[in-house]
């Protein structure tokens, strides 16, 4: 899914798919974002990729754990 990089008062922003957030249990029962939900954004490699992880109780999920569902067992 392509998203447009936007400028919000000098800060670059990218919107996340609300349907994906709903599936992942990020949104509340009314479909609203929690007011205090934090995310951690990490630049990967030479800057062609960014990883966004939801912060839970002040902790950033381990990178290996975050990527594990994407890795096939061989």
Strands (E), the chain: 6-8, 11-13, 39-44, 49-54
Mean pLDDT for the chain? 89
Higher-pLDDT residue of 38 and 73 is 38
Residues 6+ apart with CB under 8 A from 60: 40, 53
Three-class DSSP category at 52: strand
**pLDDT given for residue 11 in this prediction:** 95
Q: What is the pTM of this model?
A: 0.74
Is residue 66 predicted with pLDDT exceeding 90?
Answer: no
Under the banding of pLDDT at 50, 70 and 90, the label for residue 17 is very high
């Amino acid at each position: 899914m392509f998203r447009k990089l936007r400028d919000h008062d000098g800060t670059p922003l990218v919107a996340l798919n609300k349907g994906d957030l709903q599936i992942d249990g990020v949104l509340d029962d009314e479909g609203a974002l929690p007011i205090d939900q934090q995310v951690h954004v990490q630049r990967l490699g030479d800057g062609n990729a960014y990883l966004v992880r939801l912060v839970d109780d002040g902790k950033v999920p381990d990178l290996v754990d975050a990527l594990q569902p994407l890795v096939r067992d061989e």
